[in-house]
Structure 1
Amino acid sequence: MDTRNNRHARSRARGAVKPVTIAILAIIAGLAVASWILIIKPHEDMVSGDLGSHPSTPVVLGQKAAAPPVNVEAMSLNDLLSEARKAMNEQRVIAPAGNNAFEFYLKVLQKQPGNQVAADALRETFPFAASNVEQVINQRDFNEAQREIDLLAKVDPTNYTLTILRSKLDAQRKTLDEEQQKQLDQQRQADLAAQKAAADKAAANKALADKAAADKAAQAQAALASQQEKAKQEEQARKPAAPANQVAEGAQASGGETRDAIPVSTIRPRYPTTALRNNQEGWVDVQYTVNVDGSVDNIQVVSAEPRHVFDSAAIDALRRAKFSPAMRDGTAIASQQQKRIEFKLSNSQ
């Protein structure tokens, strides 16, 4: 009897649980429907607007933006929300400055801090705005990226995404600075190399010019010396020999002997073997200096017939000759003479 009663009580308990569970589920479903009708649906309708866009629509960069409202401060909440919806439809989530959904929604919250529509829209679009910032960083528009990061910080200052974005911005700035510094260094090195090349070229040109000038001066000096020597020889050749009586008279007048150099030995040239074999005869006019000791030097061939056959023999003969030096007023002096040395086959035998 007791057992039947217990089974019946357990059965009644199980039957009582089912209505409670059903009631709880019904309440949850009702709350969900009410939430959809009262909160979510109006917000989606407001955000979607006429074109049916959604805050989560990805941001497209480079789209031409509409002109910003003239006086944002004087706009009502409805006007601000309308401009925000328009910006969302045109994918102006966080840019351009002064004409984007983020700034319009923030202005709504500034006028009405508890506005749920603006708060929800900012929260939902935050990730897509952050993606836009990352694209701007990659494009190295650092000022715009900083502006957008500051705008995101007004919505959720503690969001870790901002830390990542700031790190990326700093890294890109550092990379750009390094690239610019590298370019400057390369340009500086190129300028230095160009300056060095120009300086080396100028130095080489100057060295060539100096060498050419020095060579020209040396040639001019040599030509002048040759002309002077030739003129001197011609002048000496034109001088007539002083008559013996004038020499004697001069010596008597001065009290000392005055005369030309006199050979003290016969000048006998050696007949060249080649000329002898070829039966050649000729002569050589030589000009020479008789020193104060009677030796001979500065021997030069003035003319010869035939040329270059008897020259060496004539010069060698004069080198071996001995002279009594010229005298002037009893003092030996160096003097120049000119003599023709003849080469005859009859004399060689």
Structure 2
Amino acid sequence: MHKRRPVFAPRLVRGSTSQMLIAVVAVFFALAVAAYFLVYLPNKTAVEQINGTPTVGQAPAHATSVAAPTDVDRLSVDQLLSEARKAMNDRRLVAPAGNNAYEFYLKALERQPGNAVAADALRETFTFASSSAESAINQRDFAEAQREIDLLAKADPENYTLTILRSKLDAQRKTLDREQQQQLDQQRQAALVQQQQKEAAARALAEQQAAAETARQQAAAATQAKTAAPRATTAPGAAAGNAAATAAARATPSDDVKITDAVLTRRVNPRYPTAAQRANQEGWVDVEFTVSGTGGVDGVSIVDAQPKHVFDRSAIDAVSKWEFTPATRNGEPMPVTMRRRIEFKLGR
């Protein structure tokens, strides 16, 4: 007799398979819901940053106006995480100081070491935080950049990005120092050029005044000569005789008069003018002066010079410091007038 198989067996198998699928789907759904509430929501802002929202370090204008919570040290871990999420939403990742997500997360880790939410948020946003520090370096806000780098070091002290940021910060500081030094050098150079221009203008004005004074003296001498001419013609013979007698008396001293010349005992060499030295100028100056009865030099004046007005001052200053054994007349010191040529030559 042939046995029939129960018709309900396939249905039982299909029912068991359906229950298993429902159970598996239910488990996955429960895991998804748990992940959503435990992981996704606390780090929503960090996820948005990773998926391409604007750089965290570039906070909006209102970010710095958000008031920091009072008495942060008394906040619980949940409150710190809540403040951190608010800061993330406002893009206050590492700034401003005392009111940013990184500081809240770090404070939460201090209260509860190993807090997964805070640790994951710090790890996932480290790249964006380092971008903020790099932006501060590029803007040469070195104090803010250093603060953010120190904050990042608390979150991940072994991260190699910190070495790169510190190197960039050091390089930018050195670049700024060089630029400031160059600006100072340029300012000094400009001041030096301006001073040289003023000195050149003063010398030119002095030369013009000297030339004008010389012309005035020459005009006065010419006028005086014209005035004295008629007096000389009234008694030419007497004047000529008096002049000859005076010259003879000066040129030929009597036999009982003994005169000795002044002897130079101390000679001071003139200082070579800097401008002439730079221009490779050479020349000479004829000076006239009086050796007093004490051996000093008085009344130094320029008789002639080549070139004009270049070596005059140096020659006068040097000759004024000369010392002589005074000339004598019958053993008594007397003043005498002398003339010397001072040469200015560059040593080659």
Same fold (TM over 0.5): yes
What residue number does 1:186 align with? 186
What residue number does 2:68 align with? 68
Superposed displacement of residue 55, structure 1:
4.9
Give the Cα separation in 1 of the matches to 2:96 and 2:243. 112
Q: Structure 1 residues 95, 166: CA separation in 2 closer, same or farther (over 3 Å shift)?
A: same
Give the Cα separation in 2 of the matches to 1:174 and 1:207. 49
Q: Structure 1 residues 158, 105: CA separation in 2 closer, same or farther (over 3 Å shift)?
A: same
Give the Cα separation in 1 of the matches to 2:79 and 2:138. 34
What residue number does 2:273 align with? none
CA RMSD of aligned residues (A): 3.3
User: What amino acid is aligned across from residue 140 of structure 1 in structure 2?
Assistant: R
For the Cα contact (< 8 Å) 2:77–2:111, is it kept in 1? Answer: yes
Superposed displacement of residue 181, structure 1:
1.0
For the Cα contact (< 8 Å) 2:137–2:169, is it kept in 1? Answer: yes
For the Cα contact (< 8 Å) 1:55–1:121, is it kept in 2? Answer: no
Give the Cα separation in 1 of the matches to 2:72 and 2:230. 108
User: What amino acid is aligned across from residue 145 of structure 1 in structure 2?
Assistant: A
What residue number does 1:151 align with? 151
Structure 1 runs of 4+ off > 4 angstroms?
A: 29-37, 288-293
Give the Cα separation in 2 of the matches to 1:178 and 1:67. 39
What are the within-5 Å matches in structure 2 for residues 67-216 of structure 1? 67-216=67-216
- Aligned-partner SS, 2:122: helix
Q: Structure 1 residues 231, 292: CA separation in 2 closer, same or farther (over 3 Å shift)?
A: closer
Superposed displacement of residue 67, structure 1:
2.1
For residue 54 of structure 1, the aligned residue among 48, 65, 78 is 48
Report Cα offsets for 1:54-77 as digits up to 9, x if no partner: 353422246332122222112222
User: What amino acid is aligned across from residue 122 of structure 2 in structure 1?
Assistant: L
1:221 aligns with 2:217: no
Give the Cα separation in 2 of the matches to 1:210 and 1:158. 78
What residue number does 2:329 align with? none
Report Cα offsets for 1:104-132 as digits up to 9, x if no partner: 10111111112111111111110000111
What 5-or-longer segments of structure 1 have no aligned partner?
Answer: 1-22, 238-259, 262-287, 294-349
What residue number does 2:266 align with? none
Give the Cα separation in 2 of the matches to 1:96 and 1:72. 15
What residue number does 1:43 align with? 39
Give the Cα separation in 2 of the matches to 1:32 and 1:208. 104
What 5-or-longer segments of structure 2 have no aligned partner?
Answer: 1-19, 245-348
Q: Structure 1 residues 39, 53: CA separation in 2 closer, same or farther (over 3 Å shift)?
A: closer
Give the Cα separation in 2 of the matches to 1:108 and 1:291. 120
What residue number does 1:343 align with? none
Superposed displacement of residue 91, structure 1:
0.4
Give the Cα separation in 1 of the matches to 2:71 and 2:181. 44
Give the Cα separation in 2 of the matches to 1:159 and 1:292. 108
Report the number of matched residues: 217
TM-score normalised by L of structure 1? 0.55
Report Cα offsets for 1:309-342 as digits up to 9, x if no partner: xxxxxxxxxxxxxxxxxxxxxxxxxxxxxxxxxx
What residue number does 2:5 align with? none
Q: Structure 1 residues 33, 95: CA separation in 2 closer, same or farther (over 3 Å shift)?
A: same
For the Cα contact (< 8 Å) 2:80–2:107, is it kept in 1? Answer: yes
Report Cα offsets for 1:265-285 as digits up to 9, x if no partner: xxxxxxxxxxxxxxxxxxxxx
User: What amino acid is aligned across from residue 54 of structure 1 in structure 2?
Assistant: E
Superposed displacement of residue 37, structure 1:
4.2
For the Cα contact (< 8 Å) 1:53–1:88, is it kept in 2? Answer: no
% identical equivalent positions: 50
Give the Cα separation in 2 of the matches to 1:154 and 1:163. 14
User: What amino acid is aligned across from residue 151 of structure 1 in structure 2?
Assistant: L
For the Cα contact (< 8 Å) 2:60–2:90, is it kept in 1? Answer: no
Give the Cα separation in 2 of the matches to 1:150 and 1:291. 104
Superposed displacement of residue 219, structure 1:
1.5
For the Cα contact (< 8 Å) 1:53–1:89, is it kept in 2? Answer: no
Give the Cα separation in 1 of the matches to 2:205 and 2:129. 65
What are the within-5 Å matches in structure 2 for residues 11-30 of structure 1? none
For the Cα contact (< 8 Å) 1:44–1:54, is it kept in 2? Answer: no
Superposed displacement of residue 236, structure 1:
5.1
Q: Which is further off, 139-148 or 71-80?
A: 71-80
- Aligned-partner SS, 2:48: coil
Superposed displacement of residue 218, structure 1:
2.0
For the Cα contact (< 8 Å) 1:137–1:169, is it kept in 2? Answer: yes
Give the Cα separation in 1 of the matches to 2:132 and 2:213. 73
Give the Cα separation in 2 of the matches to 1:142 and 1:292. 91
Superposed displacement of residue 213, structure 1:
1.1
- Aligned-partner SS, 2:99: coil
Q: Structure 1 residues 290, 189: CA separation in 2 closer, same or farther (over 3 Å shift)?
A: closer
What residue number does 1:265 align with? none
Superposed displacement of residue 103, structure 1:
0.5
Give the Cα separation in 2 of the matches to 1:168 and 1:34. 48
Give the Cα separation in 2 of the matches to 1:188 and 1:62. 43
For the Cα contact (< 8 Å) 1:133–1:149, is it kept in 2? Answer: yes
User: What amino acid is aligned across from residue 171 of structure 1 in structure 2?
Assistant: A
Give the Cα separation in 2 of the matches to 1:141 and 1:200. 45
- Aligned-partner SS, 1:73: helix
TM-score normalised by L of structure 2? 0.55
